[in-house]
Amino acid sequence: MVYWTHSWLGLISGVFLLVISLTGVVLLFHDQMDAALDPSLTRVHVRSSRLPYDELLMDFSQQNIPGHLESLSLPQNAEDPLLLGVRDRSGYHKAWMDPYTGQLLGYGGDRATTSGWIDSLHYQLLAGDYGEVWAGLVAFVLVLASATGLYIQGRFLVVLLRWPRARARMRDSHSLIGTWMLLASILFGLTGTWLCRFGLLRLIQKPQVAVDAQQRHVADLYLREVARLPNFTPTLVLYPDKAGGAVEVAGVARLTRKNWLYGTFAYRVTLDAGTGRIVSFFDPTRASLLDTSDNWIFAIHSAQFAIETPLWLKLLYTILGLSPAVLAVTGYLLYIRRLARNRRLRSRQFLEWRIA
Work out the average pLDDT over 162-176.
Answer: 54
Quickly state the pLDDT bin for 269 (edges 50, 70, 90). very high
**201 vs 204: CA distance, rounded Å:** 5
Q: How distant, in Å, are the alpha carbons of 31, 153, 163, 263, 328 from that of 159? A: 38, 10, 5, 35, 21
Domain ranges of the chain: 1-38+113-206+314-356, 45-109+212-302
Kindly tell me the sign of the dihedral angle through the C-alpha atoms of 87, 106, 21, 75. negative
Quickly state the pLDDT bin for 171 (edges 50, 70, 90). low
Best CA proximity match to 223, nearest among 56, 340, 96? 56
**Residue 170's pLDDT is what?**
44
Q: Which amino acid is at 247?
A: V
Torsion, CA 270, CA 274, CA 276, CA 277, rounded to 10: -70
> Residue 169 pLDDT > 50, yes or no?
no
**Residue 157's pLDDT is what?**
46
Query: End-to-end distance of the chain based on CA atoms, in angstroms?
Result: 34
Which range is least confidently modeled, 53-67, 165-179, 253-267, 317-331? 165-179
Average pLDDT, the chain: 85
> Residue 234 pLDDT > 90, yes or no?
yes
**Residue 109's pLDDT is what?**
87
What pTM did the predictor assign? 0.84
